[in-house]
Structure 1
Amino acid sequence: MFEIVVVPPGADELSEQMGTKFKFWYQDEVYGKTLFKQGRPGTGENWAEKLACEFAELLGIPHAHYELAQWQGRDGVIRHGVICPSVVPDGARLIHGNELVGGKVTVANADEKVNNYALRNHLATRVFQFLHQAADIIMPPQAYQPIEGVHSPLGVFIGYLLFDALIANQDRHSENWALVRTSEGFYLSSSYDHGSSLGRNETDETRSAILTTRDRGQSMDAYVSRARSAFYPAAAPGVKVKAYRTLDLFQLACKMDPIAGRAWQTQLGRITEKQFGDVISRVPVGQMSDVAKEFTAKLLQANIGRLLSLEI
């Protein structure tokens, strides 16, 4: 089973302002500067973050490290969440995507019920072109262990998009990817913040219905096909557009570097169903229901099939 790290009482010396969740930085004896982030009650954010971390490791995606955790606040309430050591080395700075990429603002359809980030100027082709054109000054993540065919920051980023499609991550908005500026230069940051994935907000009732239905429109295949990214196509001012679906976004990115796209497909094809299942089984009792575990395994199987069937 995965360990549940106990964060020391009184560790909340610094607060983290970015985002909507309760979180704070503290100095961990093992990991150094570390973020505790509380999962919202009634969601699977904590187990989704931990599982995504382990799946990224299987795939060879450079990623932030997450552990399940709990912390007792000054009010005596025990809060459940995850911890994550900083992805930014001492003396370095994280530069988010919204600081790097400008362009036209795209407008989401009102019926998408998206968060505010979806209204920002987060154009897919602009991001891809930025990473491609700046390849001579931006390095892949320092934690990246090269795989054959993937040698550029864009190539690694294409891996992030395959990973998003695999876990149905719909939260790769412009503050959920970044560069790290160090004294040695600029690096693409490791992937981070994957809690909005794996259908973690669904109820067990909904999960059971999806797993057992004979209605193709409500099946797992239909469910995963609806997952959207936080990247948008270019549009004229005032024109309403929808975000790319996660699978379509990966396929679009592969047009910029098909060799990298095929390399990540190969990486994915090497992981067995048992390996994924073994990871899921390690979530402690009480953190994730049996239905949620079965649902997660089926979601991965559906997305693996879709990703491996793509012709790039």
Structure 2
Amino acid sequence: MNFAPEFPVIVVTEAHYELSKNEMMGSKYKFWFQHQELGRCLYKQARQNLGEDWAEKVAAELCKLLGLPHAIYELAETWEGNRGVVSPNFLPEGGTLVHGNEILTPIVPNYPTFVNYGASQHTIDIVLRAIEADRVSLPIGWAAPSGIQTAVEVFVGYLLLDAWIGNGDRHHENWGFVRNKPTFTSGETVHLAPTYDHASSLGRDLSDEQRQKRSVEAYANKCFSAFYSSVDDKKPLKTFDLFYQVAHAYPQAAHIWLERLESVSRANILTIFSRIPNTHISSIAAEFAQKILEFNQYRLFTLRESLP
């Protein structure tokens, strides 16, 4: 029997909100605040009945099992009773996050900087070439598995994660670089950012009624990424097809991340879901999400047979 404690739920107070008003970004549903233990944190409010909070938390815990560098997410509630997640700032002091659209705009003619979805110029080849640049280092403070030496090989792991959890939201603002300010001993450094923003995954968008009627296989097979194979394509690559393509371009890295995936057991996954409070996720949603992971894990293992 599993006696793992439930994940804590951080309470974001009205005082936190009032102190951060001048730091609001985008909308009232997302703001930075200072937490006593965690330091500077981003609160992101989940939309009602869409499971964005538990999906984000589960994905972060799966990243931990894979050994991927990732943003930390904690379940949260506000003084008003709204649910969301809290994520401690992963930037070093003086560091800045440079999103993918800022990276690609100067190097891709007529790049649609402000279009997150349907941007066919967001091709996987262009993105991989940008990350392959010599100046892009491994994520800050992260110990790489044996055999993983470059930022692009880490990104292969991010795409394996996307294929596993069915994450369709890695658009050009959901990956990027961390620019670290120069010091007395070295100049400015540029690092791959940890993976972040995984809420659009694990079938969290479905209602329980839909989950009871929907085939897990059919749902998993329809998960699209935000990457295109060619600028002329009408639709983006599916998450599995994307990883298949990248795995054949970087087979050594793909084998390493697939080995990490193989080390994750069904019991590991069950423990994560058992720690989500039942006030945040239904048993039907938890079961459907676990079946997605099991099905995608099997598909990824069969892909390994085609790799050199």
| Alignment TM-score, normalising by the size of structure 1 | 0.88
Equivalent positions of 1:110-125 (< 5 A) are 116-120=115-119, 121-125=121-125
CA distance 1:116–1:21, shift in 2 (3 Å): farther
Matched, 1:281 2:277: no
Matched, 1:248 2:255: no
RMSD: 1.8
Q: 1:10 aligns with which of 9, 15, 23?
A: 15
SS of residue paired to 1:25: strand
Aligned twin of 2:209 = 205
SS of residue paired to 1:241: coil
Equivalent positions of 1:116-135 (< 5 A) are 116-120=115-119, 121-132=121-132, 134=133
Q: Give the Cα separation in 2 of the matches to 1:69 and 1:94.
A: 24
1:73-94 per-position Cα deviation (integer Å, ceiling 9, x unaligned): xxxx222111001121120111
Aligned twin of 2:72 = 65
Cα displacement (A) at 1:258: 1.1
CA distance 1:178–1:34, shift in 2 (3 Å): same
Question: What amino acid is aligned across from residue 277 of structure 1 in structure 2?
Answer: L
2:123 and 2:231 in contact (8 A); partners too = no
SS of residue paired to 2:249: coil
Identity of aligned residues (%): 37
CA distance 1:21–1:305, shift in 2 (3 Å): farther
Equivalent positions of 1:1-312 (< 5 A) are 1-12=6-17, 13-14=20-21, 15-18=23-26, 22-72=29-79, 77-102=80-105, 103=108, 116-120=115-119, 121-132=121-132, 134=133, 136-183=134-181, 184-210=188-214, 219-236=215-232, 241-310=234-303, 311-312=306-307
Q: Give the Cα separation in 1 of the matches to 2:229 and 2:111.
A: 8
Question: What amino acid is aligned across from residue 202 of structure 2 in structure 1?
Answer: L
1:213-262 per-position Cα deviation (integer Å, ceiling 9, x unaligned): xxxxxx211210110100112234xxx51100001111212233210011
Q: Give the Cα separation in 1 of the matches to 2:63 and 2:28.
A: 23
Q: Give the Cα separation in 1 of the matches to 2:109 and 2:300.
A: 30
Question: What amino acid is aligned across from residue 206 of structure 2 in structure 1?
Answer: E
SS of residue paired to 1:180: strand
Q: How many residues align?
A: 287
Cα displacement (A) at 1:21: 7.2
1:128 and 1:256 in contact (8 A); partners too = no
Q: Give the Cα separation in 2 of the matches to 1:105 and 1:150.
A: 34
1:103-161 per-position Cα deviation (integer Å, ceiling 9, x unaligned): 36799xxxxxxx951233311110011212x1x21111114221122111000000000
Tell me, which stretches of 5 or more residues in structure 2 are unaligned?
A: 1-5, 182-187
1:128 and 1:154 in contact (8 A); partners too = yes
Q: Give the Cα separation in 2 of the matches to 1:93 and 1:59.
A: 26
1:66 and 1:83 in contact (8 A); partners too = yes
Question: What amino acid is aligned across from residue 262 of structure 1 in structure 2?
Answer: H
